[in-house]
């Protein structure tokens, strides 16, 4: 029997995904992101961006990119360990460490790569990773690639995590891994409980604060600050510049020992070309703006409250009670696709989030608010959501 043509096989697999309502397509939003974008030639209110502080078009970030490019060029020319470490990288790493009140920090090309790097450098065969069921795909991939034993606890369940930790081998390292604010649910990890557990069990805690950095905590330091937990050497704090900080790049902040391990063993740091000077300069400018423009966090919180109040009034199920991520539970994948289409027809871009990004039966519209929105945008979004919900029978 001859094998099917490989492209036929791929077409068949794609067709199966599409039949299940799980097909994906790219949506172009025009030339730049912002509260209003252009989709298929029409103006739309964007309610799906992670540019939470509205910094992606900030003149200070644009100037930083231009100046760094004019003075330092467009590329770093080599990996960090060979000859790609520039002064802008080191200055940024000192700034990240100050921002996170940690001993040291390391800059990565993306947040995804920071997660692959930190988990892979810390854990390997013979070690145990205990991981939240709703962790981001980059943490899941990092756990798989590490070849450590991975045990998954039900979302936010500290006692369950404690039971799994008892399996930790006496000789090996134990890691607890969690999003700080969960990307698709918008809720917080039970950090006080996880930290107490890590201390009790002699484990390290890795917190991915991709959605909390710049947004959560009185000074935007992230989820630990929200819980008034002082940074401590048992915690590796991961973050990204691609969301609230309006640029691109990931980081890990923590103890000097942690960062030394990463410089020696984080493959996604070692085996890739160093980020270009402009990327590091934009990241540095964004960190400064978190302190200089605190009004952005206040505005974000007021906008979020307004949107939540409107949607709760419609009797819709929201999966988080505070923060910039407002996930609206729909259920089935097809129905959430229909909801996303109806919203777009009503002038609001907020695409459906479906498996495998979220568990089956929990497809949703993940609405996000940014400091670049206005109160009137919340009202417009709520009206469009009410009309779309009626149309699809939600
Ligand atoms: C929780 C979480 N961690 C990591 C990442 C990856 O960050 P980056 O976009 O910088 O690669 C994302 C999103 O993309 C995320 O949601």
CATH code, 152: 3.40.640.10
pTM, whole model, 2 decimals? 0.96
Same domain, residue pair 35 and 92 = no
What number is the average pLDDT over the span 307-325? 94
**Is the minimum distance from the CB of 112 to ligand 1 under 6 angstroms?**
yes
- Last residue within a domain, chosen from 292, 322, 345: 292
Looking at residue 175, its pLDDT comes to 98
Q: Tell me, yes or no, whether 4 lies in a domain.
A: no
Q: Which contiguous run of DSSP H or E holds residue 199?
A: helix 191-201
Distance 42 CA to ligand 1 centre (A): 29
Same domain, residue pair 304 and 253 = no
Reported as a single tens digit per residue, the pLDDT across 193-231 is 999 999 999 999 999 999 999 999 999 999 999 999 999
Q: Is 146 in contact with 172 (CB distance < 8 Å)?
A: no
Same domain, residue pair 36 and 89 = no
Reported as a single tens digit per residue, the pLDDT across 55-96 is 999 999 999 999 999 999 999 999 999 999 999 999 999 999
Same domain, residue pair 152 and 273 = yes
- Last residue within a domain, chosen from 292, 316, 340: 292
Residue 1 has pLDDT above 90, yes or no: no
The C-alpha atoms of residue 311 and residue 252 are separated, in whole angstroms, by 36
Residue 291 CB neighbour total at 10 angstroms: 10
**Is the minimum distance from the CB of 208 to ligand 1 under 6 angstroms?**
yes
Residue 278 has pLDDT above 80, yes or no: yes
Distance 2 CA to ligand 1 centre (A): 42
Q: Is 222 in contact with 178 (CB distance < 8 Å)?
A: no
Residue of 118, 140, 240 best suited for mutating to test ligand 1, as the one with most atoms within 8 Å of CB: 240
**Is the minimum distance from the CB of 240 to ligand 1 under 6 angstroms?**
yes
Enumerate residues 6+ apart whose C-beta is below 8 A from 306.
375, 378, 379
Q: Tell me, yes or no, whether 13 lies in a domain.
A: no
Provide the domain limits for residue 148. Answer: 59-292
Reported as a single tens digit per residue, the pLDDT across 118-146 is 999 999 999 999 999 999 999 999 999 99
Q: Tell me, yes or no, whether 8 lies in a domain.
A: no
Same domain, residue pair 65 and 182 = yes
Same domain, residue pair 310 and 266 = no
- Rounded CA Rg of the chain: 21
Q: Tell me, yes or no, whether 298 lies in a domain.
A: yes
Residue of 210, 236, 246 best suited for mutating to test ligand 1, as the one with most atoms within 8 Å of CB: 210
CATH of the domain at 363: 3.90.1150.10
């Amino acid at each position: 029997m001859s094998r099917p043509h490989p492209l036929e096989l791929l077409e068949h697999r794609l067709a199966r995904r599409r039949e299940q309502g799980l097909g994906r397509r790219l949506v172009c939003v025009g030339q730049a992101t912002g509260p209003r974008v252009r989709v298929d030639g029409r103006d739309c209110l964007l309610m799906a961006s992670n540019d939470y502080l509205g910094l992606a078009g900030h003149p200070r970030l644009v100037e930083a990119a231009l100046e760094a490019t004019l003075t330092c060029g467009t590329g770093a020319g080599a990996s960090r360990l060979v000859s790609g470490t520039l002064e802008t990288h080191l200055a940024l790493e000192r700034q990240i460490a100050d921002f996170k009140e940690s001993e040291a920090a390391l800059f990565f090309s993306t947040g995804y790569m920071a997660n692959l790097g930190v988990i892979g450098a810390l854990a390997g065969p013979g070690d145990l990773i205990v991981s939240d069921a709703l962790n981001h795909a980059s943490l899941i991939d990092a756990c798989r690639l590490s070849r450590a034993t991975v045990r998954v606890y039900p979302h936010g369940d500290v006692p369950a995590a404690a039971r799994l930790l008892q399996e930790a081998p006496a000789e090996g390292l134990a890691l607890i891994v969690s999003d700080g604010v969960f990307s698709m649910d918008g809720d917080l990890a039970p950090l006080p409980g996880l930290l107490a557990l890590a201390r009790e069990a002699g484990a390290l805690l890795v917190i991915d604060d991709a959605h909390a950095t710049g947004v959560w905590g009185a000074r935007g330091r992230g989820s630990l600050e929200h819980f008034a937990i002082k940074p401590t050497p048992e915690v590796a704090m991961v973050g990204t510049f691609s969301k609230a900080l309006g640029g691109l790049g990931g980081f890990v902040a923590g103890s000097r020992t942690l960062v030394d391990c990463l410089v020696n063993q984080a493959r996604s740091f070692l085996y890739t070309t160093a980020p270009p000077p402009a990327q590091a300069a934009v990241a540095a400018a964004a960190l400064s703006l978190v302190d200089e423009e605190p009004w952005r966090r206040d505005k974000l919180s007021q906008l979020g409250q307004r949107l939540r109040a409107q949607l709760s009034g419609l009797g819709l199920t929201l999966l988080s009670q505070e923060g910039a991520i407002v996930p609206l539970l729909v259920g089935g994948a097809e129905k959430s696709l229909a909801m996303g289409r109806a919203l777009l027809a009503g002038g609001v871009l907020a695409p459906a989030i479906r498996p495998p990004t979220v568990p089956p039966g929990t497809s949703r519209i993940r609405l996000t608010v940014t400091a670049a929105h206005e109160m009137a945008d919340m009202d417009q979004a709520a009206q469009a959501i009410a009309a779309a919900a009626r149309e699809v029978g939600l």
